[in-house]
Amino acid sequence: MVHFVGAGPGAPDLITLRGARLLREADVIIYAGSLVNPELLQLAGPDCRIYNSAEMTLEQVLGVMAAAEQAGQTTVRLHTGDPCLYGAVREQMDALDAVGIAYDDTPGVSSFCGAAAALNAEYTLPGVSQTLIISRQAGRTPVPEKENLAALASHGASMVLFLSAGMLEKVQEGLLQGAFVSSTPAAIVYKATWPEEKIVRCTVGTLAESGRKAGIRSTALILAGDFLQPEYERSRLYDPAFTTGFRKGESK
Ligand code: SAH
């Protein structure tokens, strides 16, 4: 059996209880070494064999999983954040299906949640935005043309960009071609929830310059949108005059 597990954004105590239990019980751990906090590997038992997938191809990863399966052992495939975002898990799952190896998936705290926590931000502020767009700037990995940054930014919705901190000029340009203006608030969050976390608050117009000054080129998220400014409407849910399924609103 193979367990895909989300490691969380960095801080080792942000893995789920289930994820931690699976790590403790694993015979084999294959972890995404570029971003998973190695402290999590201390949960592994003394006989556990540990592989760093940053140095492996998909075929090698699958080979390790198949050998463990043959020996009747369990493998944990440990991905950063939540496996469902930029985790390259689907190709592993399809390959396991093809050879009849069973697997399951334990979610984790994605870094976009870690970054919001670092900023004490809420992506979905009433009267500001009720939508979060998660995407990336096209680079060596292409993005479908209909999802180019300017098109996505045309909504003016809250945005989080993964894998793009090394392309801040292009990001800035794309966002400005959309509904964002130079003064729209933005932030770069480097290694959210790690001890070396760095937060750079800026505007869309100063993204590239701010990233350069802070020396951030990777392992960061770019957040942009009016959800980072101080004005919003209060929620209906907790408004005394609003009736919900759980509470009757007071008439004024
Ligand atoms: N599955 C992961 C994303 C993997 S892609 C998740 O859910 O978070 C790798 C990219 O995620 C990095 O280039 C960076 O943009 C972002 N990332 C991962 N961990 C991060 C962290 N702690 N702080 C900021 N960005 C992070």
Same structural domain for residues 79 and 102?
A: yes
Q: Is residue 247 part of a domain?
A: no
Same structural domain for residues 131 and 76?
A: no
Helices (H), the chain: 17-25, 58-70, 90-99, 111-119, 149-153, 168-177, 207-214
User: How far apart, in whole angstroms, are the C-alpha atoms of residue 81 and residue 6?
Assistant: 5
| pLDDT digit string, tens, across residues 71-123 | 999 999 999 999 999 999 999 999 999 999 999 999 999 999 999 999 999 99
Same structural domain for residues 100 and 118?
A: no
Q: How many Å lie between the centroid of ligand 1 and the Cα of residue 186? A: 17
| pLDDT digit string, tens, across residues 168-179 | 999 999 999 999
Global pTM reads 0.95
Same structural domain for residues 144 and 191?
A: yes
Domain end (from 106, 134, 153): 106
Same structural domain for residues 60 and 121?
A: no
Q: Is residue 252 part of a domain?
A: no
Domain count, the chain: 2
Q: Is 86 in the pocket of ligand 1 (CB under 6 A)?
A: yes
Same structural domain for residues 190 and 144?
A: yes
Q: How many Å lie between the centroid of ligand 1 and the Cα of residue 81? A: 7
- Of 20-29, 184-193, 217-226, 231-240, the least confident: 231-240
Domain with residue 32: its CATH number is 3.40.1010.10
Residue 36 domain boundaries: 2-106
| CA gyration radius, the chain | 21
